[in-house]
Amino acid sequence: MKKDISLIGVPMDLGQNRRGVDMGPSAMRYAGVVERLEALHYELDDLGDIDISRPDRYRKDDGTNLRNLLEVAEANAKLAEVVDEVVREDKFPLVLGGDHSIAIGTLAGVAKHYQNLGVIWYDAHADLNTGETSPSGNIHGMPLAVSLGIGHEKLTGIGGYEPKIRPENIVIIGARSLDEGEKKLIREKGIKIYTMHEIDRLGMSTVMEETIHYLQKQTDGVHLSLDLDGLDPHDAPGVGTPVIGGLSYRESHLAMEMLAEANIVTSAEFVEVNPILDEKNKTASIAVGLMGSLFGEKLL
């Protein structure tokens, strides 16, 4: 992994409708993310938080099923610029969310620097909805589709190019809640996905071996997009859209440790930490622990 990390906070809650996830970056800083990574001898530059405008909430833009479209687009355009600059400086962008809609901006900033960016989508959901297929109108359920160039042009066009990624370079891990339109897209595009069923059958160790092998063959960089709701709500209760039957704390650490060993991850984001819904900052602490493992922390 690159030894220089730039930390970017995105206090964004406009991509969904439960308040509090905008405090995710503060919660993860409070849980010691800077100290944790510095202890591993990384040079860490905390760039602070992106400015997010505060509109009236719950507004769907005319004729769309997209909540807070303009504000979400504006915030992601800013994020994309910051991330682009970080990659240009040859530093590792570590983005703290915020709801998962921020992956639109992160990927827009990262992907232009790669021919074939791989993406690991660690999540209970696939976030492959569009305005047409979304049951909620929440943009945090759409960033993976947007990054494939599918969705509203105000989102797909961020960064001035599209698509950001190709379906064959994506691996979804931990899925257990998919909407009909998402299932259709996964089948049509042949997106690689390890649902909880496959993870239970194969074990996380095999799942990660296969994932790493698959991405190493065909990509020149890998972005890890880790939604804390990929973990079981018993371990990570501080999320807005919890789904039972998720990945354990231990499976998740194993996944991060195997990624550290393989040394393939070139950018990462940790999203959906909602301190209002959390128990004593447990979910933020787990997120920071997972970052520790991703960046090479070992017991001995």
Interface of this chain with ligand ARG, residues 150 to 189, rule: CB under 6 A: 179
Nearer to Mn ion, 67 or 91 (CB): 67
Q: Which of the following is catalytic: 229, 257, 269, 278?
A: 229
- Cβ atoms of 260 and 294 closer than 8 Å: yes
With CB under 6 A as the contact rule, the residue among 134, 195, 211, 285 that binds ligand ARG is 134
Q: How far apart are CA 212 and CA 257, in angstroms?
A: 12
| Kind of pairing between the strands at 221-227 and 117-122 | parallel
Tell me if residue 125 is catalytic: yes
Question: CB under 5 to 8 A by kind: which of Mn ion, ligand ARG, none does 78 bind?
Answer: none
Question: Is residue 125 part of the contact set for Mn ion (CB under 5 A)?
Answer: yes
Question: Is residue 130 part of the contact set for ligand ARG (CB under 6 A)?
Answer: no
What is the per-residue binding string for Mn ion in 181-220, x denoting contact by CB under 5 A? ----------------------------------------
Q: Which of the following is catalytic: 22, 227, 232, 269?
A: 227
| Segment contacting ligand ARG by CB under 6 A, of 54-62, 65-73, 80-88, 128-136 | 128-136
- What are the φ/ψ torsions at residue 299 (nearest 5 degrees)? -70, -40
Tell me if residue 123 is catalytic: yes
Interface of this chain with ligand ARG, residues 211 to 250, rule: CB under 6 A: 227, 229, 241
Its sign, for the CA torsion 61, 123, 171, 38, is positive
- Cβ atoms of 82 and 109 closer than 8 Å: yes
With CB under 6 A as the contact rule, the residue among 29, 67, 78, 100 that binds ligand ARG is 100
Question: CB under 5 to 8 A by kind: which of Mn ion, ligand ARG, none does 192 bind?
Answer: none
In the complex, least distance from residue 178 CB atom to Mn ion, rounded to whole angstroms:
11
Q: How far apart are CA 8 and CA 155, in angstroms?
A: 20
Tell me if residue 140 is catalytic: yes
With CB under 6 A as the contact rule, the residue among 49, 127, 232, 278 that binds ligand ARG is 127
The radius of gyration of the chain from alpha carbons, rounded to an integer in Å, stands at 17
How many residues form the binding site for Mn ion (CB under 5 A)? 7
Q: How far apart are CA 249 and CA 236, in angstroms?
A: 8
| E strand or H helix that includes residue 7 | strand 4-10
Q: Which of the following is catalytic: 125, 152, 223, 253?
A: 125
Hey, what are 291's tokens? 């970052």
Tell me if residue 100 is catalytic: yes
| E strand or H helix that includes residue 223 | strand 221-227
- Cβ atoms of 267 and 221 closer than 8 Å: yes
- Per the annotation, does 227 bind a ligand? yes
Q: How far apart are CA 154 and CA 279, in angstroms?
A: 36
Question: Is residue 140 part of the contact set for ligand ARG (CB under 6 A)?
Answer: yes
How many residues form the binding site for ligand ARG (CB under 6 A)? 15
Question: Is residue 74 part of the contact set for ligand ARG (CB under 6 A)?
Answer: no
- Cβ atoms of 28 and 85 closer than 8 Å: no
- Per the annotation, does 220 bind a ligand? no
Hey, what are 159's tokens? 């960064």
Q: Which of 234, 294, 244, 287 is nearest to 24 (CA)?
A: 287
Interface of this chain with ligand ARG, residues 107 to 126, rule: CB under 6 A: 125
Nearer to ligand ARG, 219 or 241 (CB): 241
Q: How far apart are CA 33 and CA 270, in angstroms?
A: 11
Residues annotated within the binding site are 100, 123, 125, 127, 227, 229
Residue numbers annotated as active site: 100, 123, 125, 127, 140, 227, 229, 272
